[in-house]
Amino acid sequence: MLNATVINFKKHNLVKQRIWQFIFVAFNTVPLVTCLICTNAFAIHSFDEDYALMEVYKQRLEKANAGNSSAQYNIALMFEHGKGVKKSQTKAFQWYSKAAKQGNDKAAFKIGFSFLHGKGVSKNYTEAIKWLNISAQKGNARAFYTLGYVYEIGKGVEIDLEKSLHWYNKAKADGYSVAEKRIAPITKKLGKESLSTTILKNKRPAHEEKTIAAVPNVSITKISTRSNVTTELLAGGWSRSEKPALILPSRLTQCITYGKNIECTATEINSNIGFANIRYATKSVIHDIEDSGNFVISYRKNILGISITDKKLITSGDTLPIKLGWQDKEHFLTCSLKNNEELNCRQSELRDLTFSRVVQQ
């Protein structure tokens, strides 16, 4: 005969009421019977947990509908993670929006993050940056960190390592320790960037300049030695994803040499950057060229025309993240010539680029 004792425990919180069953089975219990009893015990626990969350949802929903921003935020969390309700990123975004419009900084961050990654709403970098800034103004550390990420890799804005470092430092100061991993590499990059800025600003003597004609991206003579990296780079025809490079010798650039450096100016390009169509030219300097094949590319963009395509941005009065003329920010790549047909560059920890060219055998 089965000898079992069942003990019931009830928590004082009526909303999160749970029944925990502990079954103590006598020594001579049949194993199969024991297994079935234990299975039912776990099933009851799982059902009770879901029931408790459903009760939590009902209570929070009443407060949320009454305009309580904390309840609205928590309802959004439940929809985002599918706790007590059917998971829905769209409904989560709707509730985050209600809470954010009432000044909830955590909800404002969630709205910015949703626009940034397309969670429950279409991607919109302009709106993402807007809401991340709103959250940051209220002191949200996650917003600090995400703005650092946005400016580090250029999501809807020009890459700006100084701004990125600023936001990462704010996140770290606020106790968001993840930011520490990004601060050191960006600080190092900014040190190199200061050097490349000096190179761009230095006036080059006329006798050191030598014009190099643009080289078509086809039928390039193969170079048999690695002894002169500059010569290999100037052989031209460099491209990325089958498109001529704008920062290396290619059919879209005109390049000159001065001393040990190479300077290239690209032809005008039309591009869409999400919220606007722009027309721009790019100027680059290839410097710190080593015999090992390592070198650095510094470049800036000259914005020649801007046509805003985002109607909301036109009426919002927000400041554009870009301006006409030469952009203040200089970017750089650390590169390595793998062989005379391929070179690899790194722009950040999150972005590696490969350039190649066609050569005659």
Within a domain: residue 36?
Answer: yes
Choosing from 64, 90, 114, the residue where a domain stops is 64
Residues 6+ apart with CB under 8 A from 159: 151, 152, 153, 329, 331, 347, 348
Q: What is the DSSP string of 167-189?
A: HHHHHHHTT-GGGHHHHHHHHHH
Report the mean per-residue pLDDT for the chain: 75
- The parent domain of residue 292 ranges over 206-360
Among residues 340, 85, 347, the alpha carbon closest in space to that of 231 is found at 340
Say what the pLDDT of residue 92 is. 93
Within a domain: residue 150?
Answer: no
325-326/276-287 β-pairing: unpaired
Per-residue pLDDT of 162-178, as tens digits, reads 899 999 999 999 988 88
Choosing from 64, 93, 111, the residue where a domain stops is 64
Torsion of CA 50, 54, 57, 59, to 10 degrees: -130
Within a domain: residue 139?
Answer: no
Residues 6+ apart with CB under 8 A from 88: 79, 120
DSSP character for 22? E
Give dist(CA 361, CA 359) in Å, integer: 6
Among residues 332, 352, 224, the alpha carbon closest in space to that of 282 is found at 332
**pLDDT beneath 70: ranges in the chain:** 1-52, 192-227, 274, 311-321, 348-350, 358-361
Number of domains in the chain: 2
